[in-house]
């Protein structure tokens, strides 16, 4: 539950949407999740979970749910 809270907080603070808008959210579906917002989201997730994402995963991080799958590769279970 704590992990989900950190994950959601990163989205809310960088992409600028409310938590109830997160399910199904995909990259560039909202003006806040543009390329700059994506960079901010990635670095905030790295800080929150103490990981360093690979470029390939940053580019494949295309949505809220997809991101959970990607973080699992880094040992982060949400």
Partner 1 sequence: MNAPFSALYTFKNFTDLTEQESDEVLRGRNDPEVRRWMASDRAISADDHGRFMSGLRGNPHMVYMRIERAGRFAGVYSLNDLAASSGLGGFWVTADTRERLLALNVVFQGMDYMFRGLGIERIYGRQKQDNLSAIRLNALLGLVPSESNTASVGGMQQIEITKQHWLQSTAQDAKLLKLMNRMEALNGTT
Q: How far is the CB of 39 from partner 1 (least distance, A)?
A: 5
Cβ-based nearer residue to partner 1, 32 or 67? 32
Q: Is 66 left (phi over 0), alpha (psi -120 to 50) or beta?
A: alpha
> Considering the rule CB under 8 A, would residue 55 count as an interface residue with partner 1?
yes
Query: Closer CB to partner 1, residue 1 or residue 55?
Result: 55
Q: Residue 55 class from Cβ within 10 Å (0-12 exposed, 13-18 middle, 19+ buried)?
A: exposed
Chain centroid offset of residue 77 CA: 13
Which residues sit at the interface with partner 1, rule CB under 8 A?
A: 16, 31-32, 34-40, 42-43, 46, 54-55, 58-59
């Amino acid at each position: 539950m704590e992990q989900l809270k950190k994950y959601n907080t990163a989205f809310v603070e960088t992409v600028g949407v409310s938590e109830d808008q997160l399910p199904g959210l995909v990259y560039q579906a909202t003006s806040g999740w543009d390329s700059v917002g994506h960079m901010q989201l990635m670095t905030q997730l790295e800080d929150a979970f103490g990981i360093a994402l690979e470029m390939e995963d940053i580019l494949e991080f295309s949505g809220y749910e997809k991101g959970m799958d990607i973080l699992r590769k880094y040992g982060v279970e949400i």
